[in-house]
Amino acid sequence: MPEILDQARSQVLENGVGLDEAGVLAVLNLPDEHLPAALQLAHDVRMRWCGPEVEVEGIVSLKTGGCPEDCHFCSQSGLFTSPVRSVWLDIPSLVEAAKQTAKTGATEFCIVAAVRGPDARLMKQMREGVAAIKAEVDIQVAASLGMLTQEQVDELVDMGVHRYNHNLETCKSYFPNVVTTHSWEERWETLRMVRESGMEVCCGGILGLGETVEQRAEFAAQLAELDPHEVPLNFLNPRPGTPLGDRPVVEGKDALRAIAAFRLAMPRTILRYAGGREITLGDLGTRDGLLGGINAVIVGNYLTTLGRPATDDLKLLDDLKMPVKALSATL
């Protein structure tokens, strides 16, 4: 057994204290033959500190495309020659999407908009949309609307949005290579306000943007410092027309190493499979990740791309004897 896994067993599994940056890096550098042991340990940590339940979420894009920011992975930036056109979802369709999501047994419905931050039109649409969902659908509403002002944070709390997603995307040292229209610190400031408001903080990122393994470890440590309620883990799905459109996808084994390492850095967080898993991991790898530290999934489609059918994921959870977290357990 490599030394880092022995250390993690006593430090993380037994005492619930996450690995630091050096520890995460050691896990990310483990040779293939030790990957199964790392995944098993990460799974044990998840079972011990989070339990067997899996949180299921659906997401929908309220405002797609035409974003003024330049996140190099994103097909919704209006600054690239991506084929994604700007479009708004109407409220009846939003409510229908929430209903579709609730039908899967999901407890979370996240409303997302491709914006730098919300304007008055978007906040109005949110107020009406969240109220309409709450009137008709039994599901918790989360939001992801970019950078917020304090007034907007307060408004979202008032609407009953219980969790806010704002991804740091990558580590601080690599961020300027991925985004030039705003800073990592600006994102951090929104996260700080969200945390202080009492909303749950959801913050993760994308692996495979060209960051080094050391920078992946840096990112895990920075997320651990933030201590979010939830960490969505995406793997780059290179989008045509974006600056990262020709990047290779993350190797399945590297993705699994990252899942184990992020779990060992953050024993108590909700670690969610988000975009790109279908391409990076396929069905078998998806299963390995759920047995290697992941305890939440996005089911159904993503914002501009499609996922596998929700029924496939639910069947997998059933096979793995992992109960879907119920709404009553989260209220």
Residues that bind ligand SF4 (CB under 6 A): 67, 69, 71, 74, 76-77, 114, 146
Q: Which of another protein, ligand SF4, none interacts with 279 (beta carbon under 5 to 8 A by kind)? A: another protein
| DSSP secondary structure string for all residues of 151-206 | HHHHHHHHHT--EEE---BS-TTTHHHH--SS-HHHHHHHHHHHHHHTPEEE--EE
Count the residues of the shown chain that bind another protein, applying the rule CB under 8 A: 30
Under the binding rule (CB under 8 A), the answer on residue 299 touching another protein is yes
Give the DSSP letter of residue 67: B
Q: What's the token pair of residue 147?
A: 């950078």
The residue behind tokens 């499979």 is 273
Burial (CB count <10 Å: 0-12, 13-18, 19+), residue 214: middle
Q: Which is nearer to ligand SF4, 112 or 137 (CB)?
A: 112
Under the binding rule (CB under 8 A), the answer on residue 228 touching another protein is no
In this structure, are residues 203 and 231 in contact, taking their beta carbons and an 8 Å threshold? yes
Work out whether strand 55-64 and strand 87-88 pair parallel, antiparallel, or are unpaired.
Answer: antiparallel
Under the binding rule (CB under 8 A), the answer on residue 107 touching another protein is no
Q: Minimum distance from CB of 242 to ligand SF4 (Å)?
A: 9
Residue 67 assigned as binding residue:
yes
In this structure, are residues 267 and 260 in contact, taking their beta carbons and an 8 Å threshold? no
In this structure, are residues 256 and 250 in contact, taking their beta carbons and an 8 Å threshold? no
Under the binding rule (CB under 8 A), the answer on residue 73 touching another protein is no
Q: Which of ligand SF4, another protein, none interacts with 300 (beta carbon under 5 to 8 A by kind)? A: another protein
Q: Which of ligand SF4, another protein, none interacts with 77 (beta carbon under 5 to 8 A by kind)? A: ligand SF4
Q: Which of ligand SF4, another protein, none interacts with 59 (beta carbon under 5 to 8 A by kind)? A: another protein
Q: Give the contacts of 211 (CB within 8 A, at least 6 positions apart).
A: 170, 171, 174, 219
Q: Which of ligand SF4, another protein, none interacts with 4 (beta carbon under 5 to 8 A by kind)? A: none
Under the binding rule (CB under 8 A), the answer on residue 208 touching another protein is no
Total residue count of the chain as it appears in this document: 331
| Element containing residue 122 per DSSP (H, E) | helix 120-136
Residue 317 CB coordination number (10 Å): 20
Q: Minimum distance from CB of 271 to another protein (Å)?
A: 21
Q: Minimum distance from CB of 16 to ligand SF4 (Å)?
A: 33
Q: Which of ligand SF4, another protein, none interacts with 96 (beta carbon under 5 to 8 A by kind)? A: another protein
Under the binding rule (CB under 8 A), the answer on residue 59 touching another protein is yes
Q: Which residues are annotated as a binding site?
A: 67, 71, 74, 110, 202, 272
Q: Which residues are annotated as a binding site for [2Fe-2S] cluster?
A: 110, 202, 272
Interaction site with another protein (CB under 8 A): 58-61, 64, 83-87, 89, 93, 96-97, 100-101, 104, 240, 278-279, 299-307, 310
